[in-house]
Chains A and B, each alone.
Chain A
Amino acid sequence: MKRWFEPLSTAWVGVLTHKLRSFLTMLGIVIGVAAVITLMSVGKGVETDIISSIQTLGSDLLFIFPGAVTEAGIKGAVGGATTLTQEDAAAISEQVPYTAAVAPSYSTSLQLVVGAQNMRAQVTGVTPEYQQAYNLQTIDGAFISEYDSERGAKVVVLGSNVKETLFEGADPIGQQMRMGNNIVRVIGILESKGTSIRGSTDDAILIPLTALQQMVAQPRTSQGERVVSSIVLTVSDQEQASYVVDEITAVLRSRHQLGPGIDDDFSITSIEEIVSTLSEAVGTMTLLLGAIAAISLLVGGIGVMNIMLVSVLERTREIGIRKALGARERDIWGQFLIEAVFLTFAGGIIGVILGWVAALVVNNMGLMTTVVTADIVILAVSVSVGIGLFFGFYPAWNASRLNPIDALRSE
């Protein structure tokens, strides 16, 4: 007990003796740790935002996109090809087990006119399955029904942003609007879900795929099948996800008559893949932010070393006295090292508190979601203690090596 208490109280007296100097030394560590905590909390916040927005979408989704077009040996972007068709979707729905809500969709840009409002927007032709696949709720009216779909009814369901833009405060249900050269009727408004990984359904303009096919010239493949932009489907049993992916691949390869050795002309992406890719990217960003903040921590550590060197020089006589009283090298070494660690540890604790408060303020002001996790706090405090040990080591060693006679003689 005494063995630990005495060096600690000596360090405490050393810190108190030079209040301003100790405070300024600590400040470097405080700022560094606070910066690490705040920036890492922002990174973590972005990560949780992404994960929660994906969870509203449902984790059992699979996306099928057309493959890249290869033209004159140059491979274009994924999704550029027109290989995916409505018939593919029907075949998947019939032949692949464990699938539900297979929803092909086709997007095109059309002019919309409501009264004086005139805008060009992305219109998506969908089937009723689209609602289940994307887990969409209407807050007003209804979604596109089987019946609408079968007869190609010219009805639209709008996202909440689109509704605000076109109709402002007015009740849009039953209202007519012009879409390209056709008149369509609004039958439903989607609940706002915020921005998600697949863009915002708040900006969606949904129309039965059959109706869209009558309104615009939808491209067809050489076999006469109707091309779609993407197919989304839900997997009814999550454990079978990889089996489902394999089956879909087999069905599509055979339908697209791809021989062995030829690349897929489509790509299948699961939500989980997207989540892990994004989390990885955000994790890298968080680390980068932390690394930048850590530089200020390093500078703070150099400040600690500087002050400790000055302090050793200034207290040479004290060191001489202690040695004359029987202090061993390791007693002196320990004394100065504990003092350095004391400064950085206290600085680390204060920095954690400040950083935490800053993160909370940012969060509560609605600027960004911030999350302070225990591992960041533990990391920051142990790094600051480590900095004390590392940068206190040399000054403490210097102090311990002083010759007692020379040290006693110094003024």
Chain B
Amino acid sequence: MIHLQDITKVYPMGKRELTVLRGINLYIEQGELVAIMGPSGSGKTTVLNLIGCLDKPTSGSYYLEDREVSRLSSSELAQVRAQKVGFVFQTFNLLPRLSALANVELGMRYSGGSNHNMAMAALDRVGLSDRANHRPTELSGGEQQRVAIARALAKNPPIILADEPTGNLDSHSGEEIISILTTLHSEQGITLVMVTHDSNIAHRCQRIIHLKDGQVVAEEKL
């Protein structure tokens, strides 16, 4: 499903270069639930962005569903994102001017067009169908993140990538979010990759990948 082969990522920093990833090899099966852990600056988010086709590696190969995508044009990468990947961010990243429903519809907009009924169904799955017309500012943090999950879900992507989805939430809301995500995984067989600091959350996944200084240092199967 997801196969990273000797991936490196170097960012130009003025005249110097910042090497973030130094040869990552990673294989994630379809339907797996994987946590990526590691200290700040270890390259967790960069790996997630590469998996989500938001960014291109400096060298190495990335096969997504057996297709080499690391050399695609930005427009082709956008197509891959639209069809294959749903993102859940730490800071929710909802559009503040749009209602919860409109935000969910936006998630389908670039992958074949928005559909009111499907958007409502996605909101229903995260338990927010009664708040469809509220704006993000009228919702709690946990509710906003549920809208964000509904947005990621609405287009039925095979992969959901979550970057510290509970990082901005209290423990109660965080627990809610994690149970929604794990339920989605177990019920729908979605491949779920989650970056987290929290080892309690990580231990609810099937596998934990530990990163340090841009390299995979350990893997735990649970």
Contacts and interface: CB of A to CB of B under 8 A. Distances in A.
Interface string A295-327: 000000000000000000000011011111111
Contacts of A329: 74-75, 78
Contacts of A2: 113
Interface string B38-53: 0000000000010010
A309 B85 CA distance: 30
Given A6-B109, A404-B54, A405-B49, A324 B98 contact: no
Interface string B90-134: 000111011000000011011101100000000000000000000
21 contacts: A2-B113, A6-B113, A6-B114, A321-B95, A322-B106, A323-B81, A324-B54, A324-B87, A325-B151, A326-B78, A326-B82, A326-B83, A326-B85, A326-B111, A327-B78, A327-B109, A327-B110, A329-B74, A331-B110, A405-B49, A408-B93
Contacts of A326: 78-79, 81-83, 85, 110-111
Contacts of B98: 13
Interface of B: 49, 52, 54-55, 74-75, 78-79, 81-83, 85, 87, 89, 93-95, 97-98, 106-107, 109-111, 113-114, 151
Nearest to B151: A325
Contacts of B89: 408
Interface of A: 2-3, 6, 13, 17, 317-318, 320-331, 404-405, 408
B36 to A, nearest CB: 17
Given A13-B98, A408-B89, A408-B93, A328 B55 contact: no
A322 B52 CA distance: 14
Given A326-B82, A408-B93, 4 more contacts: A3-B113, A323-B54, A325-B106, A405-B55
Nearest to A5: B113
A329 B110 CA distance: 11
Q: B49, B78, B109: which has the most chain A beta carbons within 10 Å?
A: B78
Nearest to B95: A318
A328 B81 CA distance: 10
Q: B81, B83, B98: which has the most chain A beta carbons within 10 Å?
A: B81
Nearest to A2: B113
B78 A405 contact: no
7 closest residue pairs by CB, A with B: A326-B82, A326-B110, A328-B78, A326-B81, A328-B75, A327-B110, A321-B93
Contacts of A3: 113
A336 to B, nearest CB: 15
A21 to B, nearest CB: 14
Contacts of A404: 54-55
Contacts of A6: 109, 113-114
A314 to B, nearest CB: 12
B78 A323 contact: yes
B78 to A, nearest CB: 4
A327 B106 CA distance: 10
Nearest to B96: A318
A216 B38 CA distance: 118
Contact of A325 (B55, B74, B81, B113): B81
A405 B82 CA distance: 16
A290 B89 CA distance: 54
Contacts of B83: 326
Nearest to B161: A324
Q: A17, A317, A408: which has the most chain B beta carbons within 10 Å?
A: A408
Contacts of B78: 323, 326-329, 331
Contacts of B82: 325-327
A59 to B, nearest CB: 63
B119 to A, nearest CB: 13
A317 B94 CA distance: 10
Contacts of A331: 78, 110
B85 to A, nearest CB: 8
A63 B172 CA distance: 101
A13 B55 CA distance: 29
Contact of A17 (B75, B81, B97, B113): B97
A213 B41 CA distance: 113
A328 B110 contact: yes
A285 B43 CA distance: 69
Contacts of A317: 93
Contacts of A320: 93
Q: B83, B87, B151: which has the most chain A beta carbons within 10 Å?
A: B87
Given A329-B78, A330-B75, A13 B97 contact: yes
A349 to B, nearest CB: 25
Contacts of A328: 74-75, 78-79, 110
Contacts of B110: 322, 325-328, 331
Contacts of A17: 97
Q: A6, A317, A328: which has the most chain B beta carbons within 10 Å?
A: A328
Nearest to B102: A13
